[in-house]
Amino acid sequence: MDMRGNDPTNKGRYDVIVVGGGIAGVAAAVSSARAGAKTLLIEKCVNLGGLATTGLISWYEPLCDGQGKQMIGGIAEELIKLSVEYGLDSLPERWGGNRPDRKENERYATHFSPTIFSVALDDYVLKSGAQLRFDTWATYPVMDGSKCLGVVTESVNGREFFEAGAVVDASGDASVMDRAGVPCVLGKNYMSYIAHYYDTADAQKLMETKDTRVFRKWMGVGSDMEGNGHPEGMKLFDEATAEELTRFMVVGKQKLLERIKQKGKNNFDITTLPYMPQFRTIRRIVGKCDFPAIDGMTCEDSIGWCGDFRPKGIGKHYQLPFGALYSEGFDNLIAAGRIISAPQGDGWEVSRVIPVCALTGEAAGRAAAISALKGATMDEVRERYMEQVRVQAE
């Protein structure tokens, strides 16, 4: 067997490498670059945004608590504004949009064009000073005891090694963390598949009224997030293997085809299919501590507050601990997005959506920059967060 070319080419050193170009990864890369770190963002697809764009989940969940109080700012707020800067939106007037408020305490949330948002994200990342690498799989972290030396990748270039001072895992499935030996937990998923479509009648209405809300619609098959609609007798999906991922996608498209056959030819068109599996919870780390999403509970290492996007979460306030972003014994590895240490249930539900992914990404990127530039472990970086909290309290 010819094994030539198996040794990876060394591509040089970066202060921070971010694996995964979803919303969490974008926020992490921008945050790291703004902190002065030489930053590389590695994305396996050719577009940024992850589930929000490639996955067609094009609703930017609320940055507020549903009672008029804004909970998240920073990069998360920059991104909601960017999501509607060039495309269609449903942002209420009270939050800077053009849609008249329909009720008191209209939430700081919006639908957006996933395609236009994705195009805008490239420019947003590059302007921060971070570098991009598309169509590249970060396959394995290279570990030296408790320290990650960098990541091995696969692309059209072959196998390459990128050295790093710190690594942010924003992969969405904790692949870097898992392969580094970080303890992880697999999530379970209902079958759910969402495509975008428009009715021919809606297209005519758009031409006549310019009402952009009628143009892009979701066609969902399978389950909602509570499990309603999951095919009877079908086992849940955990995305532990390529075979399981393939089964999820095939079943989703089969269910969509059944729905298409019921719609009637010439009445509509499917405009876009998702280009990634729309899993809600895949794999998450076991961190120094958990984010349990308990209303009003504070933590000594807070990275900020968030609300709850669900109707049942109106008025709830959650504080996120830095300790949920890393696992003890791994000096320069940190997680961002839906893979943070959050138990199945409210914690994982709250932490997996766009605004909270951006919040954890911003914190992870800043922490990774500190780790790389100062030679600090994540435990030491956590101490800095705790000191900030103490100073703010005083």
Q: 50-85 pLDDT, tens per residue?
A: 999 999 999 999 999 999 999 999 999 999 999 999
- Any alpha helices (H) in 17-95, and if so which ranges? 23-34, 74-83
Tokens describing residue 197: 């479509």
Distance of alpha carbon 388 from alpha carbon 394, whole angstroms: 10
Say if residues 58 and 112 touch (Cβ distance below 8 Å). yes
Confidence of residue 217 (pLDDT cuts 50, 70, 90): confident
Burial of residue 378 (CB within 10 Å: 0-12, 13-18, 19+) is buried
Tens of pLDDT, residue by residue over 174-210, are 999 999 999 999 998 899 999 998 887 776 666 565 5
Q: Is the pTM of this model over 0.95?
A: no
Asked if residue 2 has pLDDT above 50, the reply is: no
Say how many C-beta atoms besides its own lie within 10 A of residue 209's C-beta: 10
**pLDDT interval class at 165 (50, 70, 90):** very high
pLDDT band at 394 (very low <50, low <70, confident <90, very high): low
CA distance 302 to 280: 25
Q: Which residues pair with 393 in a beta bridge?
A: none
Average pLDDT on 87-116 reads: 88
Given this model, what pLDDT does residue 4 score? 40
Confidence of residue 158 (pLDDT cuts 50, 70, 90): very high
**Regarding predicted confidence, which is higher, 5 or 12?**
12
Q: Please report where in the chains the tokens 């990342």 appear, as a residue.
A: 125
Judge contact between 326 and 169, C-beta under 8 A: no
What pLDDT is attached to residue 207? Answer: 57
Give the whole-angstrom CA distance, residue 178 versus residue 169: 10
Question: Which residues, at least 6 apart from 16, have a Cβ–Cβ distance to it below 8 Å?
Answer: 29, 32, 37, 38, 39, 40, 164, 165, 166, 167, 168, 365, 368, 369, 372
Q: What is the dihedral of CA 148, 154, 240, 51, to 10 degrees?
A: 90
Domains detected in the chain:
10-187+282-393 (3.50.50.60), 192-272 (no CATH)
Mean pLDDT of all residues belonging to the chain: 91
Element (DSSP H or E) covering residue 155: strand 147-155
**Average pLDDT, stretch 46-52?**
96
